[in-house]
Chain A
Amino acid sequence: MDEAAAAAAAAAAERNSRKRKRKIAPRVLLAQVDESARLEARQRRLDALESDDVVAAGENDDEYEPDHASEDDYSDDAVVGAIVGKSKKKSKANSKPSKAASVSTTQKKQPSRQKQPVRRAIEAFNVPLDLVLAEEAKRAAVEGTTECTYEHARALPSRFPARRICSVCGFQAPYTCVRCGSRFCTVQCGVTHDETRCLKFTQ
């Protein structure tokens, strides 16, 4: 009896599950995206909020390249002296083979050489923040101070569930986008969301 009942229940469950599977529209199944892709899209959007509004290279004119010689005086440091000295020596060495060639090289290279030393030495420190923080985390792990690091200080998630706010208009939103999981409040906002935001991110 029991076995028969169990078998019947299993059959019913299988039928139910098959039934449920069939109920999902293929359109929706196709549209669904796994959690990692959703997270990634959200993260990209958040990263975009941190970006500076800098005119893209080549759009206005050349890259940001201030000239130092004209304006600000830096203290006479050894680095500048050493490298400028070197460039002079090189130009002298170049001047031996032919005069024309030397003139062209010195004229072309000197302005850039004048600029380089000041920028180069300090700009060696321009390392992406991620790398610096990773290094710092490694150091903290060695020293046993992982409680006092950038990573550890990050705020924990809220104790309360996330509010349901329309990602398009900011009003309360009863509906969830099946594809990306963000909220929208009306059909109009849903259409806007699909067109411009769903799993996309701004600039």
Chain B
Amino acid sequence: MAPSRDSLAASPAATPCDSASLSSSIVFLDNGAGDIKCARVPSDHFSAEDIREAVGAAVRIPNAACRPRVEVPGVPRRAGNVMYGSELRSCRDFSEMSFSRPHQRGYVCSWGLELDIWSHLLNNEQAVDAQGTHRNAIITTAPCFNPGHMIHAESELVFEYLGFQRYVQLTSQAMPAFAASTSSHACVVLDTGFSFSHAVPVIDGRVIWRAVRRLDLGGKALTNQLKEIISFRAYNMMRDTAVVNAIKERVCRVSPHYLAEIALENKKPRSRRYTPTPDYMLPDATTGYKDPLGFVIDPANVPTLDPTAQTLALTNEKIFIPELLFSPSDIGLGQAGVAELVCQAVEACSAHLPPDEAMRLRALLYGNVQVVGGNSLFPGFVKRLLADMRPLVPAEIKLQVLRAPDPQLAALEGSMFFTQQWMESGRPLFVSKAEYDEFGPNVCYSRFQSLA
């Protein structure tokens, strides 16, 4: 589908401020609250092949200034002993590492910190490598309903501090609708990420803003809840966020029938209920395991384990933690779970339509539910979502829930396809430095409003 480079280069609408002398790579930066996903394409006119290559080489770093307990050799000395991004790879001790994050409930609130993280990313990561090249264009993402204040701040950061020439900000939750795996005209994106979960209906490339629904529960709250439970039942791990997060990602799973499963467990006598089989080997700095975050214990290997090693046995919290996404009322959050969230979004979409049209729209949307975001990586998530949604959806409607091949990179990939389509159509996408200097941050705000 990609047109030849010559035809595009000849079109006058491509980019007004582009000149051949500038290096014309575009940096894509999916600014997630948990992880930044970043990649670069070589020029304005990129093909699907380029996109695949760029996504394959994408950098994924925590969006945080990390402070280890002890200094890590090889990391440049900074005040506060903070380290960024790929420097964590040389770190062998994640216990009691603290993370300062610029995001607060999903929105960037600490701009100085974000500036540090971004400039380190752009200067030091090999795959992005925007240090030597001329900083040409950057495409960032932000969550739905990003306030004008944040757009103002980010435009200033991008143009004045990082020195980019062109800039655009896209809505991260809408972008997976444009990724290669999504082919239909209408879909609902369920993005269950670090700070919150969104259900976003996208029809013909436009987001139905009034129907977007948000559940204020994400991976961070789940990690914190698990941290609290483990600290209460086993070891005090209140400050071992990184380790608990790894436990959450590796051990937790979504139960197909939570109540039935715990009822079964509950029938056992109390002494047998908490099975003594260890699930997880906690990291040990002295013996130095391969993985500094510890590892999952294979039940077959239990007898061979060192009896003095610190192991962790998890009981129902293995399924309780992901369960919160489906039933937030379990911790007293008065919002619907993810299955109902999708239904609420679809119903809001079709609320003002005559009955037969509403039915058709519903059928389109329910037929294409795209699941992205890190929480969808819990084993059994998609199956459970389907099972929970089925009774809520009219029986004659076919329900299909799909998970993106890599749920965490779907927004990055989608933003590349979106950019490609938008630039092919010849409509203005980027805000150039000249425009910014002329009209100020308001031009960014109105341009971004026109995009999705």
Contacts and interface: CB of A to CB of B under 8 A. Distances in A.
A72 B116 contact: yes
A129 B126 CA distance: 34
B233 to A, nearest CB: 8
Contact of B104 (A123, A129, A153): A129
A53 B262 CA distance: 31
B123 A72 contact: yes
Nearest to B321: A170
B373 interface: no
Contact of B335 (A127, A135, A136, A156): A156
B321 to A, nearest CB: 9
Contact of B147 (A61, A71, A136): A136
Chain A interface SS verdict (over half): loop
A159 B320 contact: no
A55 B333 CA distance: 27
A42 to B, nearest CB: 4
A104 interface: no
Most chain B C-beta atoms within 10 Å of own C-beta, residue among A53, A55, A74: A53
B99 interface: yes
Given A66-B65, A158-B336, A172-B259, A136 B148 contact: yes
B215 A50 contact: no
For the side of the interface on A, what is the size category?
35 or more
Nearest to B208: A148
Contacts of A77: 160-161, 163
Contact of A147 (B105, B149, B210, B215): B210
B152 interface: yes
Nearest to B150: A132
B259 A163 contact: yes
A127 to B, nearest CB: 6
B250 interface: no
A70 B334 contact: no
Interface string B188-214: 000000010010000000000110111
A125 B153 contact: yes
Contact of B149 (A55, A127, A167): A127
Interface string B411-451: 00000000000000000000000000000000000000000
A138 to B, nearest CB: 11
Contacts of B81: 61
Contacts of B100: 52, 54, 64
A132 B98 CA distance: 27
Interface string A38-72: 00001001101111111100001111111110111
A135 B330 contact: no
Nearest to A148: B209
Interface stretch (B221-229, B295-303, B353-361): B221-229
B312 interface: no
Nearest to B224: A49
Contacts of B65: 64, 66
B318 to A, nearest CB: 10
B33 to A, nearest CB: 10
B238 interface: yes
A202 interface: yes
Contact of B82 (A66, A70, A148): A66
A155 B215 contact: yes
Given A75-B162, A153-B198, A167-B331, 4 more contacts: A53-B239, A73-B119, A125-B153, A129-B109
Interface of A: 42, 45-46, 48-55, 60-68, 70-75, 77, 79, 118-119, 122-123, 125-129, 132-133, 135-136, 139, 147-150, 152-159, 162-163, 165, 167, 169-172, 182, 196, 202-203
Interface of B: 65, 67, 76-82, 98-101, 104-105, 107, 109-113, 115-116, 119-120, 123, 135, 144-145, 147-150, 152-153, 156-157, 160-163, 195, 198, 209-210, 212-216, 220-221, 224-225, 227-229, 232, 238-239, 241, 259, 262-263, 265-266, 316-317, 320, 327, 329-337, 340-341, 344
